[in-house]
Amino acid sequence: MVDDHLTSDVVLRARGLVKVHGVGRGERRILDGVDLDVHPGELVAIVGRSGSGKSTLLQLLGGLDRADAGSVEVAGRPVAGPRAPGERELSALRRTEIGFVFQFFHLLPELDGEANVLLPTTLPGADRASAGRGRELIDRLGLRDVAGLRPHQLSGGEQQRFALARALVADPALVLADEPIGNLDAEAGDTVLDLLRGAADHRRAVVMVTHQAEATARADRVLRLEEGRLVPVTSSDGDVAVHAAG
Ligand SMILES: Nc1ncnc2c1ncn2[C@@H]1O[C@H](COP(=O)(O)OP(=O)(O)OP(=O)(O)O)[C@@H](O)[C@H]1O
């Protein structure tokens, strides 16, 4: 769904993002002015200690939660900030331009694995090729034999892979992934990383929260969320930063 946006140089642009959690004396500024640009073709990994705000940041980047200040644009369209659209327009934008891979998979319990993957292809605005892409993803992720099972019959790792297939099925401009290989063995984790890397190599933008070195090793850039801001992790301190992150 992104071809008309590929001329633009930035898929994701966040400026001055602030998020405050809690009230009164319990108030904490979880994000304190996050700036981030992600270009077509880039896979960016975000690391940081537990509770540093990584999931919060992904929620804001995907327009799933409201920022207290700052702005986000995806594929040139406002998602957060003064120009952000209403919920209806935002959810249409999310459906076509943003793929989410969450820590908890949010598969619909009443649908089998394949139907969960294909669901976005049945919604208004979906492109026709996407159902075929969904079936290919199911095969590629080794899920064909369990495609007819419902989420409660699937292992955690299988659910995670179905959620990834669902995130990629609409070929979104931006993929946001929260610990995408967290529950997977090495082989399944490699397949997931290959797919995320492949999406980036097809000029999509991918932002992945992770604490695993296998994942950061596949990223073009690693950023650490520290005291509410993103700071680059250089290769010389990368290992230390990654191992300290979980
Ligand atoms: N809805 C909320 N209300 C109050 N505090 C919240 C809320 N959501 C998150 N927080 C707090 O914000 C902080 C950041 O949480 P977040 O889940 O973004 O961290 P994280 O870096 O993703 O952590 P982890 O690596 O453990 O998943 C935490 O201290 C958390 O308790």
The C-alpha atoms of residue 56 and residue 19 are separated, in whole angstroms, by 8
Q: What's residue 8's pLDDT?
A: 56
Q: Whose CA is nearest to atom 25 of ligand 1?
A: 50
Structure confidence at residue 2 as a pLDDT band (50, 70, 90):
very low
Pocket lining: 210 vs ligand 1, CB cutoff 6 Å: no
Angle of CA points 228, 68, 94, to nearest 5°: 95
Q: Give the whole-number percent of the chain exceeding pLDDT 90.
A: 65
Q: What is the ipTM of this complex?
A: 0.95
Show the domains of the chain with their CATH numbers.
3-243 (3.40.50.300)
Q: What is the 3-state secondary structure (H, E, C) of 35-101?
A: EEEECCCCEEEEECCCCCCHHHHHHHHCCCCCCCEEEEEECCEEEECCCCCCHHHHHHHHHHHEEEE
Q: Which of 85, 40, 59, 54 is CA-nearest to residue 201?
A: 40
Q: Which of 31-35, 85-89, 214-218, 240-244 has the lowest mean pLDDT?
A: 240-244
The C-alpha atoms of residue 188 and residue 185 are separated, in whole angstroms, by 6
pLDDT digits (tens, 9 = 90+) for 171-205: 999 999 999 988 788 888 898 899 999 999 999 99
The C-alpha atoms of residue 176 and residue 168 are separated, in whole angstroms, by 10
Q: Whose CA is nearest to atom 26 of ligand 1?
A: 50
| C-alpha of residue 57 to centroid of ligand 1, in Å | 10
pLDDT digits (tens, 9 = 90+) for 92-134: 898 889 999 887 678 999 999 999 999 988 887 777 788 899 9
Average pLDDT of the chain?
88
The C-alpha atoms of residue 224 and residue 48 are separated, in whole angstroms, by 5
pLDDT digits (tens, 9 = 90+) for 22-40: 888 889 999 999 999 999 9
The C-alpha atoms of residue 91 and residue 62 are separated, in whole angstroms, by 10
Query: What residues form DSSP beta bridges with 69?
Result: 18
Q: What's residue 193's pLDDT?
A: 94
